[in-house]
Amino acid sequence: MNKYELAVVVSAKVEDEVRAETIDKVKALIERFGGTVTGIDEWGRKRLAYEIQKMKEGYYYFVQFESDSTCPGEIEKRISIMDNVIRYLCVKNEA
């Protein structure tokens, strides 16, 4: 099992419940493809480095999980079409 970290930026225009549902969907995707979530770090509302879809702020979440090497690709495919996610990045932790 490899360790990964998934950074997700959720739109600041949505309600708190919708943001929570979005992160729950991300956790469900990880578990659906054989991964286990080991931690979620919520950074809250932060200013974006540049404007994305006419938004200057977003909510940052960092999800740590363990899975085999095929899981991150499947997760990225599905996160890329989620409505409230404006950016995402999945990286492998070497430590």
pLDDT of 54-71, one tens digit each?
999 999 999 999 999 898
Confidence band, pLDDT 50/70/90 cuts, at residue 15: very high
| Those residues with Cβ within 8 angstroms of residue 72's Cβ, 6 or more apart along the chain or in another chain | 4, 6, 90, 92
pLDDT of residue 95: 66
* Mean pLDDT, residues 34-63: 94
Parse the chain into domains and list their residue ranges. 2-93
pLDDT of residue 1: 87
Structural class in CATH, domain 2-93: alpha beta
Q: Is the predicted pLDDT of residue 49 greater than 70, yes or no?
A: yes
Tell me the pLDDT tens digit for each residue of 71-88.
Answer: 899 999 999 999 999 999
pLDDT of residue 94: 83
Beta strands in 1-95 (DSSP E): 2-11, 36-52, 55-67, 85-93
| Those residues with Cβ within 8 angstroms of residue 43's Cβ, 6 or more apart along the chain or in another chain | 59, 60, 61, 62
